[in-house]
Structure 1
């Protein structure tokens, strides 16, 4: 997917050695990938780029936050996130991205669109369960949480009444063991 020239790195004119690039990512970036789990987003991406004579090394790091909905209460909250991705770019006969750590570009290529790698790094940093911090410390008050608490299996055990027939059978077992 092509977003803009902001994420296309032209390495042809760069000298060998280390270079540093910084990007700001917001919700619009994720909308271009049809990723709608973020209500809002604000990330800073730092790319440490090392150009060598036969290959390129890219070291991505991200820090920021995304506004997401809690998986339990459906309340919106800011989720701090961070991530890292290391990528080696080599040159070969044809484009190959089968390996997640090594990308092969065709000989003669002079630029690289790295927006897909940034997208994947951030999306993979999202935890499987997004839980509002107010749930853990008990500060979040919500009707959904009250209902979940009422329906929890521990509460049901306390309220369950046993069948008197089973109680009589249990007495027989107790009497037998005496």
Structure 2
């Protein structure tokens, strides 16, 4: 995947201290990664880069909504997401991004690509099971929910009425403890 130019942060010309970078992420960002699970996305990403003499510290904060399909009803809805991520950038002989909290850039690099970290942070903040809020509070009306209610197992109370009186006496022994 080619780098997204706007997500390359040139740190070589920055003074020591904290620097703020803001991004507005939408569906076109996820298309660059070949990710199509979101119907739409509107996420604000704030990155605070603290430049120190031997390393960089990046603090990511993201908050917004992604439009996804409910896993129960297949109804689209806006799912609020938010999250944080910390990343330390050090310098070494070769590029190494094996550790999720530590990035090693080769000496002489002058910029860091944050697009992969933004992508992973947002995608991983979406829960594995996406349920429409209307399903939880009972306000959503959909054909899928009506079908699920029809097919749900019914509780049978007839069993209670047809109990042999000898078993009823034995159950009393269990409850008399």
1:88-121 deviations in Å (ceiling 9; x for gaps): 0000111111111111111111111110000000
1:44, 1:62 within 8 Å by CA — same for their partners in 2?
Answer: yes
Separation of aligned partners in 2, 1:175 and 1:93 = 79
**From 157, 161, 167, the counterpart of 1:174:** 167
Map residues 86-125 of structure 1 onto 2, 5 A cutoff.
86-125=86-125
Separation of aligned partners in 1, 2:46 and 2:167 = 70
* TM-score using structure 2 length: 0.88
Deviation at 1:175, TM superposition (A): 9.2
Q: Secondary structure at the match of 2:156?
A: helix
Separation of aligned partners in 2, 1:33 and 1:109 = 24
Q: Unmatched 5+ residue regions in structure 1?
A: none
Deviation at 1:19, TM superposition (A): 0.2
1:111-154 deviations in Å (ceiling 9; x for gaps): 1111000000001100111100111111100110011112223x
1:28-64 deviations in Å (ceiling 9; x for gaps): 1111111111000001100000000100000000011
Q: Aligned pair in 2 of structure 1 residues 175, 48: CA closer, same or farther (>3 Å)?
A: closer
Q: How many residues end up aligned between the 2 structures? A: 169
* TM-score using structure 1 length: 0.87
Map residues 1-178 of structure 1 onto 2, 5 A cutoff.
1-153=1-153, 155=154, 157-158=155-156, 171=164, 174=167
Q: Unmatched 5+ residue regions in structure 2?
A: 171-177
Q: Secondary structure at the match of 1:97?
A: coil
CA RMSD of aligned residues (A): 2.0
